[in-house]
Each structure stands twice: as C-alpha cells, then as structure tokens.
Structure 1
Amino acid sequence: MASVLFVIDNLGPGGSQRYVAEMARFAPSFGVTPHVCSFRGGDVFESGLIRIGVPVLITPFSKLYGSDGLHALWKVVRYIRHHRIDIVHAFQTNPNILGALAGKICGTRVITSRRDMGDFGMRGSDRLASFETKVINRLADRIMANSQAALDAAVSIENIPRHKMVLVYNGMDGERFSPPDDRTPLRKALGIDDDRCVFGIVAGHRKVKAVEVALLAFRRVKDVLPEALFLQVGDGPERGFLEGEAKRLSLGDSVRFLGVRPDVERILPAFDVFLLSSKTESFSNAILEAMAAGLPVIATRVGGNPECVKEGETGLLVPSGNPEEMAKAMLTLARNPDLRRQMGRRGRERILETFSYEKSREDLRRLYHDLLPG
C-alpha cells in the first residue's frame, strides 16, 4: 500500500482537522497506510488517531521561518525517509510550505491544498502567502481544492496551471450525522419546547464567520416571532463581542451560547433551521453536517456555499452582510414547517449522493493512484 503523510497545523476542533482525522482513519480501505504530522500536540483528534494505531508526529515551532521552523523541517524530512513515505499531503498554509519543502528534499510526491478563496490575509502573513504563491505552488505535484470556487480562485488569483489543480469535496459521515426518529428527548435535554422554532449556527466565533449578522437577523425575526430561539455552538476570540451584541439587542435568554460541543451530531437535530453567515467560505463542513442531519440551510451566497446548498431545494442563499435578507429567509422557513422538512430531506439525499465519505475516499484514491508510478 502507498504510505501518505498528512500534514496539518493542529488536530483540534475544525473542519480541516476532522477531515484529516477521518481520511486517516479510513485510509486502509482505499489502499493507503496513513501517517499524520501536526504542529501542535494534545488535541482532540490526536488521541483518537493514536488509539486506532495511526502514527502521529508532533513538530511544534513558533515561527516557520525561524530556527525552530528549520528544526521542524528536518524532523519531518527524517520521518519521511525513515518511513519511506510515498506522498506528502498538506493542508493549510504552514503545512503546505513545510510539507512541500520536506517532500521535495526527499524526492517524494507532494499535494498541497486550497481551502480558502484566495484570501491571503487568512494565511498568517503576507510573507508566507507570497512564498506559498511564488515557490510552493511550483514545487507541488498537485494542489487539491475542496470546492470548485476555491479551485477557480486559485487559478485566477495565483495563476496556478489548471492541470495542477484537482477538486476533491469534503466527505461527510451520513451515519454519524443523521436525523433521529424522535428529537423530543434531544430538545428536552436542552430545555426546549417542541413548538418553538429554533435557529442554530455552528461556527468558530471569528470575524470571518460574521455571527453578528445572524444576531441582527434574529432580532428582526424575534420581533415577529417572540418565541423563536437562537442556539450558537462554538467559541473563539469574538465570543465576548457576540455576547455583548446579544445583550445590546435585548435578546435575553432567546439566544444561548453553548460553547464548543463534542456531540454536535446530538445538537443539530434540535435545530429547525441551520444558519451560516460567513463573509467568505471555501466549503463548509458545518453545512454538510447540518444537511446530513436533515436540516434546511440558510447560508450566504459566497465561495463554495452554492455548490452544496441548492437554492430553493435544500435551503436558501442570501447576500453576505445583509441581516435584512437573512431575516426574510428565516421567517419564510419559520412559517413553513412542510418546506423545512422537504428541504431537510432533499439536503440529506444530496449528502448521501454527492458528499459522502465514500465519494471523497474514492476521489483521494484516484488522486494518489495517478501520482504514483506503476
């Protein structure tokens, strides 16, 4: 079997991190011996990988372009040589850079990734973004995008040859994320009456997620439907600001901050409608999880969101930064339970047909097979 070293910043909560952990877990089923390199130890997915026997290399550093970054590079080089790694597959900017350099020093095939819309400000620094564009893109054998929108942005903004780009959508576990036969116990556990319309969002509390826009939209909804409830799952640097916004908007206990939850699959079925208010989004795992759980989705019309949310079929798309239009969409679904159920059913069908783990694994298997001689 081919041996693949997945390289990622960390193995904490996050869409890319979960994707790497799941692909490593399933790797033997598509002919791959997995190894994982993370720049931070002690995260939630690390222990799970170790428990199932996936080797995890931890290579911490403070600055990629400092002396400890060089030490981390040589540590990865030694690992690749010792374990005879066939392919280095990196995710995010720092891993793309370190993984590509280590791989090319060893003469190993390299796949880097694009999981943004060409937003260089999200890549850590202008220096890193410039180095990745001018050097790493040339070293990589393939560059994998997780949406057509991200692929097109990489070609147009970074002038990456289209033949180097490959599209592999994120996969979703349709068994783990599925609608329950009876959601009443889930709602009861959260103290929510069955007759309340519950909007929910699962997102890191960061500026790019623009959760404050969803709060502004919910304020307008609550003026019409006083019993509506808004659940927020996640945490991050904007948490204090968002709690302040909820207070400023006099939303009281109709907005609940649930923090980071390891059991998101048990929380989602308590929602009636899933929201995503991001300013930019390459491809959202949170949307896929919500659709797999049988929820209709209201999302901003940015990046790869329209590739998974089919307008009028599995959800509604609204302009970014527009609480008025989001509120209209929320009221449309709040007033129409049959439409919610119909969209939720179609959304789950779409996950199973197009965005399953099985489909993603097969796409990866084909990508690795194409890179390796013989």
Structure 2
Amino acid sequence: MNRIKVKKIKFPAKVLMVLHSSGLTGPNKATVSLLKAMDKDKYKVDVACPRDGDLSKVLREAGIFRVPLEFGRNRDILTAIDLIRILKRNNYHVLHGHMGRVGPMICASGKMAGVPAIILTEHMNDSSHTWMREDKLRLRIHHLFHMLSNSILDRVIAVSECARISYIARQGMREDKVVTIYNSTRIMEDHRVLDDSARTSLREELRFGENTLVVGTVGRLIKEKGHEDVVMAGRRVLHKYPEARFLVVGDGPQRAYLEALARKEGLADKCIFLGFRRDMDDVMRAIDILVQPTHRECPESFGLVLIEAMARRKAVIASDIEPFREIIKDGENGLLFSEKDVTALADKLTILLEDRAIVRLLAERAFCVVKERFNPESAARKTEELYSDILRSKGYDLTEYA
C-alpha cells in the first residue's frame, strides 16, 4: 500500500503510541513520564491502549487522548484490523509501539495503513521471556516474526545501551537503526515539601519510628529478581543493627516462600511484605535505602525502580549487572555488589547502616545523576528528534519549526 502522499506536515504532527498492557508496569510508567514532557506544539501524541485499567486512568488524568484498543492472545487479528482502521482514519505520521509479543503485529498494521514512520521501543535485555525459555518452538516463531518486522521498522529505540547491543546481536539489525534513549522518571524537586507528611504517615502505619533506617526492595516477586538475597542479607545485618527494618514491595509467585523464609530466619516483625501498592510515591518516601538485587537471568534492560528512588533522593544498592552499571558508579552515586553474593550485599548494607552521612551523600549524588541523565525532558527531546529525522528521510517538509 502506498504511503501518505502529502509531503508537507502542518504541525503538530500526529503520533499514535501503542501500549498493550493496561497496568502501570515499568515500561508504561516510563512512557507516561515521556509523554508528559513531549512538546505538544511539535507532536500531538495519542495513546492506543486497553479501555480499562490503571494506565488508562493515569493517561486521562494527564490529559492525554486515549484511543481504546483491546489486546489478547486470541484476538491479534481483530486487534490488527482495529489498529489499521484507527491509523487510516486519523492519518497519523508516526506509529510508535513497544516490543513484545504484539510488536510484529503493530509493525504490520502500520505498514498496511501506510504510516510514514514506524518505531518500536525495546524494553528487554533478552527476548527469551520465562515462558519462551520453556517452549523452544514458540521462541523460534517469536524471533522469526521479529526478524520479519525489522524490514518494516524505521528505528528501534533501546532503553539502555546493553539492550541495544543485545537486540542487534540476536536480531541481526543494522546498528544505525537501533538507538539508545534511556528511560526517565519524574524529578522530585519539591521533595522537602512533599516527603515529610507522606513519609510520616506510612511509617506510622507500619509502626516504624521516624529515625528508623528502612531498607526497601521493589519488584515482582520472582526468583530472578533476587529478593531471597535481601532476606538472607537482612538476617545478617539485623543481628548487628536490630533497629533497622526491611520492606518488600510487590507481589508474585515467590511471595509465600519469601514470607516463610523470613519467619524461619526470625525476621517476621522486621521484614514486612507490603504486596502490590499503588501509592509508590509514598512508599519511596518512607524508605531510606533501596536495594535492587536482580540476577542476570532476569531479562531486565534498565533499572527504572533505581532511578525512581534516586529521583527521590534515596541511597541505592544494586547487583553488579550490565543494566545497573549504566546507572550506578560504585561508591560515587550508589553501591554495587556481586550478583547473588549475600555476604557482599550484607557488607554494603552495613556500610550504610553504620553511617547515615554516607546515606545522605550517596542519595544527593544519585539525585544529581538522575536529574542530569534520566529526566523526562531529555528523553522527550531525543524522541522528538528521532521522529523528525525519520520523517525528513522520507521526504516530509518539517521546516516550519526547524
């Protein structure tokens, strides 16, 4: 099908962002931060997403126009038909989707609708999700569809350099077609005004004292996230610092096991499992130190939770894996420990529990790094430049705002 014939664009140009998950997942939260920072005079971004769910609510509150689009394993063809209809009806200049199972379908829909620029964002460091590792046939089919979609794509955005390198290696895509634009998060400049009441409220709910040092870990409770390492390291440091407390925030298949482990190690009243929380801003304010103990087996490409904590002036400790090394310089703006090494993690925790001045210093440096490198405005400008470069390469006249 022919591409749109009109070569002169009247700004703002029209972008359709496709998000297939209805929840506030890490990728969706990063995307919302990006959308809020986009220059609406240059690009008007609509979001196609499921009608119901936390994501739709947040987009509505942010004043971002939503186009209902339903997804499901048994309705890919229907979703593609709906998406093609939406694209043709509104004459979008850019289609921006996200990798995963529906990525190839988004690409094919954009091609059939004649959208000038088609982009996907890669959020994973390894396409082999848990379900695919156990099903080699589905893994091969998944890779085949993605390789076919590469011929349609104008660019792939990787959310970290390690994700970029991984994608090029496993998909064989040209290096110049895969660019890195880091995820971003809202910067909490007004932390002194916002933190006190929320911090006090949640600590009172949990019966923590105002001066209690609280160590938190956030994420889906699966083995690859390494939460067991935090529980075992907590057992070691709490013998020396019994006044400290640990918070495990999130839910998942390992929750019952981890709670039983904490009870077995005598931490039942010192390691609190909060489950899934929607008030993550309040949770972040209540903690002092964030630990992210992810293992290499987890196909994580970026430490979004890390930069969320850093943006709220929290000291961070993370496993020494590639995605986290792009954010943290050990001893400068955070601490890294050898992956799966409980003793090393306990040693890093001890450093911070012994000296609150180090906690404050690392927290302030962490904030400065996020403000400089992982702010939404920077990500938005780079994304807008990418849209413009692709459209110009297709012969579209963007001189009106250049």
Give the TM-score category using the shorter length: over 0.9
Give the partner amino acid of 1:351.
V
**1:301·1:319 contact (CA, 8 Å) conserved in 2?**
yes
Match of 2:164 in 1: 151
CA distance in 2, matches of 1:211, 1:138: 40
2:89 pairs with one of 68, 71, 82: 82
1:99 pairs with one of 97, 106, 112: 106
Match of 1:342 in 2: 361
SS for the counterpart of 1:5 is strand
* Alignment RMSD: 2.1
CA distance in 2, matches of 1:291, 1:177: 14
> Which has the larger Rg?
2
Change (3 A) 1:244 1:56: farther
Paired residues, number: 369
CA distance in 2, matches of 1:36, 1:60: 14
Q: Are 1:16 and 2:27 counterparts? A: yes
CA distance in 2, matches of 1:151, 1:253: 43
CA distance in 2, matches of 1:114, 1:181: 33
Shift of 1:69: 1.2
Cα distance per residue 1:50-93 (max 9 Å; x no partner): 34251222222224xxxx21111111111111111111111131
Q: Kindly report structure 1 stretches of 4+ aligned residues shifted beyond 6 Å.
A: none
Q: Which moved more, 1:170-179 or 1:329-338?
A: 170-179
1:254 pairs with one of 270, 294, 300: 270
Shift of 1:181: 6.2
Q: Are 1:221 and 2:240 counterparts? A: no
Provide the TM-score with structure 1 as the length reference: 0.92
SS for the counterpart of 1:253 is coil
1:369 pairs with one of 382, 388, 391: 388
Change (3 A) 1:122 1:245: same
SS for the counterpart of 1:93 is coil
CA distance in 2, matches of 1:161, 1:361: 24
CA distance in 2, matches of 1:177, 1:45: 25
SS for the counterpart of 1:200 is strand
CA distance in 2, matches of 1:244, 1:340: 30
Give the partner amino acid of 2:40.
S
Shift of 1:227: 1.9
Give the partner amino acid of 1:75.
D
Shift of 1:135: 1.1
Shift of 1:311: 1.1
Match of 1:237 in 2: 253
Give the partner amino acid of 1:248.
K
Shift of 1:17: 1.0
Q: Are 1:31 and 2:42 counterparts? A: yes
Cα distance per residue 1:88-110 (max 9 Å; x no partner): 11113123222111111122221
Q: Are 1:62 and 2:110 counterparts? A: no
Q: Are 1:206 and 2:222 counterparts? A: yes
Match of 1:289 in 2: 308
**2:315·2:334 contact (CA, 8 Å) conserved in 1?**
yes
CA distance in 2, matches of 1:207, 1:136: 32
| Structure 1 unaligned residues grouped into runs of 5+ | none
- Give the percent of matched residue pairs that are identical in Structure 1 and Structure 2: 25
CA distance in 2, matches of 1:128, 1:250: 47
Q: Which moved more, 1:347-356 or 1:24-33?
A: 24-33
CA distance in 2, matches of 1:17, 1:181: 24
**1:19·1:171 contact (CA, 8 Å) conserved in 2?**
yes
| Structure 2 unaligned residues grouped into runs of 5+ | 1-11, 133-137, 398-402
Cα distance per residue 1:200-255 (max 9 Å; x no partner): 01112223312112111111111222222101111223222222222232211101
**1:144·1:168 contact (CA, 8 Å) conserved in 2?**
yes
Q: Are 1:163 and 2:176 counterparts? A: yes
Give the partner amino acid of 2:200.
P
Cα distance per residue 1:313-357 (max 9 Å; x no partner): 111111222211111111111111111100000111111111111
